[in-house]
């Protein structure tokens, strides 16, 4: 029987292999004497019952995670939910799903073909959230999905794995603001997502976030290898609520812009 540490560790190793900048930033912060605490891990999926948020969340809920708030992203046609573990040293898990019903018959048909290629018992595995891409897809299909939804195209290319990990800025000793961390990252040559400003959110909504632009990765398509945006690293600073406890939720308006870190440029 797997435990939650196995699952989180497998997610990190898969993510760091695909996204070398995350490992570089992690090491850079450790070299400065920081102990990097992970605020949340984000995963993506489709709202098809075979793979939807509830299905993808099952390995986490079976290992002690509990469903918390739900979120709606009308423009990107996404639902999302976040999960927390009783041990508050564990990262939160944020899972979003694309509402397929809001898209054209052509997009739905490509996605249904991909999901039809999945082994039937895949979604029952303890490591389903890090199963990778259980289908083949052509670059033409990737581009056709991308013209309607960057999110759908990312899912088609990468499948089930962490989309990003997130450094909790509050736990850093030498950076007293997200601005200071962003400046440090830029000095070291990392590019940040500037959609909606480098910092999404504010103390008024109890959460500030920034993110790198996604690293590019070589991906195998049936019609050749193509270099496309993979994953990004995120940074979050949380603020106390009026009752003194640190805000643990998410802000849909900010996340909406952060999603764009994996857009093709
Ligand atoms: Ni996030």
Rounded Cα distance, 207 and 247, in Å: 7
**Position 259 pLDDT exceeds 90:** no
Whether residue 256 has pLDDT greater than 80: no
The pTM score is 0.95
Q: Using the mean position of ligand 1's atoms as its centre, give its distance from the Cα of residue 52 in Å.
A: 18
**Average pLDDT of the chain, as a whole number:** 95
What is the Å distance from ligand 1's center to 41 Cα? 7
Which residues, at least 6 apart from 212, have a Cβ–Cβ distance to it below 8 Å? 21, 25, 185, 190, 191, 192, 193, 232, 233, 234, 261
- What is the rounded CA–CA span in Å between residue 33 and residue 174? 8
Distance of CA 93 to the CA centre of its chain: 9
For strands 216-221 and 207-211, give the pairing. Answer: unpaired
- Encoding tokens for residue 172? 């850093």
> How far, in Å, from the CA of 220 to the mean position of ligand 1?
26
Distance 187 CA to ligand 1 centre (A): 23
Q: Residue range 195-203: average pLDDT?
A: 92
Contact 70, 31 (CB under 8 A): no
Are 133 and 89 in contact by the 8 Å Cβ rule? The answer is no
Using pLDDT thresholds of 50, 70 and 90, give the confidence band for residue 189: very high
Read off the pLDDT band of 261 (50, 70, 90).
confident
Give distance in angstroms: CA of 235 to centre of ligand 1. 8
Å from CA of 40 to ligand 1 middle? 7
Torsion from C-alpha of 11, 230, 159, 137, nearest 10 degrees = -150
Ligand 1 centroid distance, CA of 78 (Å): 14
Work out whether strand 38-46 and strand 92-98 pair parallel, antiparallel, or are unpaired: parallel
Backbone angles phi, psi at 261, to 5 degrees: -65, -20
Number of Cβ within 10 Å of residue 234's Cβ equals 25
How many other C-beta atoms lie within 10 A of the C-beta of residue 11? 20
User: What pLDDT does 88 receive?
Assistant: 86
Q: What are phi and psi of 236, to 5 degrees?
A: -130, 135
What does the pLDDT read at residue 72?
Answer: 94
Q: How far is the CA of 178 from the centre of ligand 1 (A)?
A: 15
d(CA 193, CA 180): 16
pLDDT of residue 264: 79
- The pLDDT tens digits of the residues spanning 10-49 come to 999 999 999 999 999 999 999 999 999 999 999 999 999 9
- What share of the chain in percent tops pLDDT 70? 100
Identify the structural domains of the chain with CATH numbers, from first to last. Answer: 4-262 (3.10.180.50)
Q: How far is the CA of 166 from the centre of ligand 1 (A)?
A: 6
**DSSP character for 262?**
G
Burial of 211 (0-12, 13-18, 19+ CB in 10 A): buried
Paired with 201 in beta bridges are: 208
Read off the tokens for 29. 């912060």
How many Cα atoms sit within 13 Å of 111 on the Cβ side?
Answer: 29
Cβ–Cβ under 8 Å, residues 209 and 236:
yes
Residue 194 burial (CB count, 10 A): 12
Q: What is the pLDDT of residue 1?
A: 62
């Amino acid at each position: 029987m797997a435990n939650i540490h196995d699952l989180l560790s497998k997610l990190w190793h898969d993510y760091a292999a695909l996204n070398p900048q995350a490992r570089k930033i992690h090491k850079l912060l450790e070299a400065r004497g920081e102990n990097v605490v992970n605020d949340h891990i984000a995963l993506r999926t489709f709202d098809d019952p075979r793979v939807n948020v509830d299905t993808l969340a099952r390995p986490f809920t079976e290992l002690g995670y509990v469903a918390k708030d739900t979120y709606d992203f009308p423009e990107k046609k996404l639902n999302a939910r976040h999960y927390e573990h009783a041990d508050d040293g564990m990262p939160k898990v944020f899972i979003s799903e694309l509402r397929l019903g809001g898209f054209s018959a052509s997009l739905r048909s490509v996605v249904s073909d991909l999901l039809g290629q999945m082994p039937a018992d895949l979604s029952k595995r303890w490591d389903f959230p890090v199963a990778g891409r259980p289908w083949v897809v052509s670059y033409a299909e990737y581009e056709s999905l991308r013209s309607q939804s960057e999110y759908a195209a990312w899912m088609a290319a990468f499948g089930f794995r962490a989309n990003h990990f997130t450094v909790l800025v509050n736990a850093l000793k030498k950076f007293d603001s997200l601005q200071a961390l962003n400046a440090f990252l830029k000095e070291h040559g990392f590019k940040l997502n500037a959609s909606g400003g480098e910092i999404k959110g504010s103390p008024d909504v109890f959460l500030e976030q920034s993110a790198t632009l996604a690293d590019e990765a070589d991906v195998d398509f049936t019609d050749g290898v193509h270099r496309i945006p993979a994953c990004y690293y995120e940074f979050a600073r949380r603020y106390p609520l009026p009752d003194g406890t640190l805000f643990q939720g998410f802000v849909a308006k900010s996340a909406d812009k952060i999603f764009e870190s994996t857009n093709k440029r």
